[in-house]
Structure formats: structure tokens, C-alpha cells
Structure 1
Amino acid sequence: MNRIFHARIAAGQYLFLLIATAVTIHEMWMKHAVLTIIFMLLLIIAIERLIHTTYTLTADGRLILYFGRFTRSKEILLKDIISVERASSMKIGRFAVMRYVLVRYGTKGKCAVLLPVKEEMFIKTLTERLREEKPQV
């Protein structure tokens, strides 16, 4: 059975949307049509990507990272995953600027940074599927 997890929107992404909207309104106010159209397209792509980003664990042993219609999706075989861990960016005391799930895969040490809405459930489901995929000898 496929299991789909949606991505959450981080504070930096909200900030980007706010700044891009302000620039779009400013350029519209100043009657700069080309820049207005460029920033409107940028906003459409960014919003579409934020809304439609999903992480799918398939029944046939794959993790599919889908980033919306304008971006190519990425497939990771579960057998290639080395580790799954919760990580955070810069910490100030107990406060972390951003928390995310770090998935290490492949032979060359590739990493994927994921922002699932339900982190605990995503990590639990992924580790269970990894155990099923890689039986211990």
C-alpha cells in the first residue's frame, strides 16, 4: 500500500512568499509590466511547489519525492537508503531555526532534506519499510 506524506511549509518559505508578493505589488504600482509578470510567474511556481510537494512510500520499495508539476520528481529505492534521522539547522539553546528529516542514500553519500508534516510518523513508517526491505541475515 502506498503511503503519502505532505510537506510542511517552513518559516523561510513564508518569508520568501511575503517578499516576492511585496516586490510584485511594488512593480505593479510602478507600472513595470515585465518585472511584474516575472515575479507573478515566480509566485505561481513557488506556491504550486509548496502546495503539491509530497513524499510517497510505495509498496514496491521506493520513496518518491514529488515537488509539483513544474519540477521533476525524484525516486529513491528503499534498498539504497543508508540512514534516516531527524536533524536541525543552527540551534540557539533549545530553539532550532529549522527541523527536518535527513535521508542518506546511495554509494556516494547523497542526502535528501525532507519536511514532512508528521515527522514522527514519517520516520516510523520509513524505518519499518526499511526493515521489511532489508531482512537481517
Structure 2
Amino acid sequence: MNRIFHARIAWYQYFLLVVLTVNVVGALWCKYILPAVLLILMLIVVIEQIIHTVYTVTPDGILEISTGRFIRKKVIPISEITAIRKCHSMKFGRFSVTEYVLIECGKGKFVSVMPVKEREFVELLEKRLTDYIL
């Protein structure tokens, strides 16, 4: 059975939504139709990516990273995963701006994911990785 993990929404995604919305309203208020339409399209794409980002771990040893309908899925065989680390970006003392899971798959290839249930996601990947090795 496939195990699906939804993505956590980061603070900068909320910030991007607010900035795009304010710009759309401003462009419509000033009657700049073409920029408003382009900003609305960007807003739709961003909302689509935020809502439909999922990480699927299949029983046959595949990790699928889907970031919405407009972008192609990334398919990573779990057997190719060499390291799984929890990382922080820009730490200020004990506070970090963003926390994410960094997956190294192959030589020099990295994928960062932000699942809601981070611990369960990492434990499942490590379990499937050890099952594959044995």
C-alpha cells in the first residue's frame, strides 16, 4: 500500500501568496489588466504547488515527489538513497528559518522535502532502505 505524506507549508510560501495577492489587487485597482492577468496566473500556479505537493513511498521501493499538476514528478528508487539528514537553513542561535529533510540520492544529487509528519517519513524511508539492503 502506498504511503502518502503531505508537504508542510513554509513561512515563505505564505509570504509569496500575500505579496502576489497584494500586487494583483493593486494592478486591478490601477486598471493594469495585463500585469494583473499575469500575476493571477502566477498566483494560481503557486497555490496549485502548495496544495498538491505530496511525497509517496510505494511498497516496491519508489519515492515519488509530486509538486503539483504543472510540474513533472520526481521518481527516486529508494535503493539509490545514500543519506537522509534533517537540515536547518540560516540558524540564529537556536532558531532556524526553515527545517527540511535532505535526501542524497546518487552521487552529488540532493532532494529537499518538507513533510508534515517528518519523523514518520524519515523512519519509513530508513525502514524501506534497510529492507532493501537485507
Mapped to 2, the partners of 1:106 and 1:49 lie a distance apart of 26
The aligned residue for residue 84 of structure 1 is 84
Mapped to 2, the partners of 1:92 and 1:78 lie a distance apart of 34
Where does 1:4-83 land on structure 2 (aligned, <5 Å)? 4-83=4-83
User: Runs of 4 or more off by more than 6 Å in structure 1?
Assistant: none
Shift of 1:8: 0.7
Question: Identity rate of aligned residues, in percent?
Answer: 43
Mapped to 2, the partners of 1:94 and 1:125 lie a distance apart of 28
Shift of 1:106: 1.2
The count of corresponding residues between Structure 1 and Structure 2 is 134
Shift of 1:122: 0.6
Aligned CA RMSD, in angstroms, stands at 0.6
- TM-score, reference length from structure 2: 0.98
Mapped to 2, the partners of 1:134 and 1:67 lie a distance apart of 29
Would you say 1:100 and 2:100 are equivalent positions? yes
Q: Deviations 1:13-72 (Å, cap 9, x if unpaired)? A: 100000000000000001011001000010001001100000000111110000111111
The one-letter code of the counterpart of 1:12 is: Y
Shift of 1:133: 1.1
- TM-score, reference length from structure 1: 0.96
Aligned to 1:90, the other structure's residue is in SS state strand
Mapped to 2, the partners of 1:30 and 1:99 lie a distance apart of 39
Shift of 1:134: 1.4
Shift of 1:123: 0.6
